[in-house]
Amino acid sequence: MIELLLSRRSTRKFLTRKVEQEKKDKLIEAALLSPTAKNLHSCEFITVENENLIKTLAGSKRHGASFMAEAPMAIVIIGNTDKTDVWVEDAAIAAITVQLEAEGLGLGSCWVQIRNRHYSENKTAGDYVKELLNIPENYEVEAVIAIGYKGTPTKDNLLETLDRSRIHTEKYRS
Ligand SMILES: Cc1cc2nc3c(=O)[nH]c(=O)nc-3n(C[C@H](O)[C@H](O)[C@H](O)COP(=O)(O)O)c2cc1C
């Protein structure tokens, strides 16, 4: 696990190479295997490979999404707000699980935050994505994970540079 965590970095440049079906199946299995509060499975996933849809998704907010236009695939992570009040946590866990599985499969990925972000002054990024993908009213969009083969190599994280001052023992220090 530490090896995966060291090598996983956000990938925002992708090759045009398609992700093989076998790998797509694994990504979906990882998403479905991620734990959810009370085992209620509050999150659902929309896989998107259609180029036009991905390009339109990349326009869901002004900053931090445009790179996705060139991604060969994306997984939209949505939460059923009727099922639980902790759908955000469920969806976030699923998102990182998918990202780590992607890394393990030799793919790159990047999280595109949708929840609490805006498409325009009057429209949320979530509503923009919901309209685009026919997502029912009682769901919210957490994030879109852009996935594909890495277009540029990423630098691994280093154990030596971890900020260990963020770790507290027994009590928070004064
Ligand atoms: C909750 C969350 C939201 C993020 N939103 C975006 C985003 O909207 N666009 C983007 O390009 N990267 C986004 N990222 C990626 C972070 O910028 C990235 O993980 C962070 O800078 C650390 O870099 P690394 O992933 O290469 O380790 C997000 C990551 C997280 C965990």
Model confidence over 88-128: pLDDT tens digits? Answer: 999 999 999 999 999 999 999 999 999 999 999 999 999 99
Report the CATH number at residue 137.
3.40.109.10
Residue nearest to atom 14 of ligand 1 (CA): 111
Whose tokens are 């530490």? That residue is: 2
Q: What is the pLDDT of residue 17?
A: 97
Note the pLDDT of residue 174.
59
Is there a domain that residue 1 lies in? no
Q: How far is CA 2 from the centre of its chain?
A: 20
pLDDT one-digit tens code per residue, 21-39: 999 999 999 999 999 999 9
What distance in angstroms lies between residue 121's CA and the mean position of ligand 1's atoms? 23
State pLDDT tens for residues 47-86.
999 999 999 999 999 999 999 999 999 999 999 999 999 9
Q: How far apart are CA 155 and CA 158, in angstroms?
A: 9
Range of the domain at 65: 12-152
Within 50-158, strands assigned E span: 73-80, 108-113, 139-148
Q: Find out whether the beta carbon of 13 lies less than 6 Å from any atom of ligand 1.
A: no
Q: Is the CB of 100 under 6 A from ligand 1?
A: no
86 inside domain: yes
Under the banding of pLDDT at 50, 70 and 90, the label for residue 173 is confident
As for how many domains the chain has, the answer is 1
37 domain residue, yes or no:
yes
Q: Is 9 in the pocket of ligand 1 (CB under 6 A)?
A: yes
pLDDT of residue 116: 98
Assess if residue 147 is contained within a domain: yes
Does a structural domain hold residue 157? Answer: no
pLDDT given at position 114: 98
